């Protein structure tokens, strides 16, 4: 399941296939298009690259990157709360 707001960003890189009543994302194309599709279809992979980018930016330009780190930390906290509330 993905959010509809960013569908425009994923659409050029991913195609969706239904298998056993579950939708799976598969990368489209070749080269850079496929590479980006693979990152978008693998949350763990994307998370590692984003974390590396943020850490590097924070170490090189902390004043510029602190707002991004704070913003994403708040979003992460909200997603944890939402996950807990959905279980209950």
What is the domain partition of the chain in residue ranges? 1-41, 47-88
pLDDT band at 2 (very low <50, low <70, confident <90, very high): low
Please tell me the distance from the alpha carbon of residue 38 to that of residue 35, in angstroms, as a whole number.
5
Helices 62-87, 43-60: axis angle to 10 degrees equals 150
User: CB of 32 within 8 A of CB of 24?
Assistant: no
17-72 tens-digit pLDDT: 988 888 888 999 999 999 999 988 888 888 898 899 999 999 999 999 999 999 99
């Amino acid at each position: 399941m993905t959010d509809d707001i960013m569908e425009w960003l994923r659409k050029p890189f991913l195609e969706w296939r239904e298998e056993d009543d579950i939708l799976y994302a598969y990368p489209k194309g070749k080269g850079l298009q496929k590479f980006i599709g693979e990152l978008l279809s693998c949350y763990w992979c994307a998370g590692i690259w984003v974390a590396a980018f943020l850490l590097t930016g924070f170490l090189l330009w902390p004043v510029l990157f602190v707002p991004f780190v704070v913003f994403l930390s708040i979003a992460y906290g909200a997603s944890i709360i939402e996950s807990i509330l959905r279980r209950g």
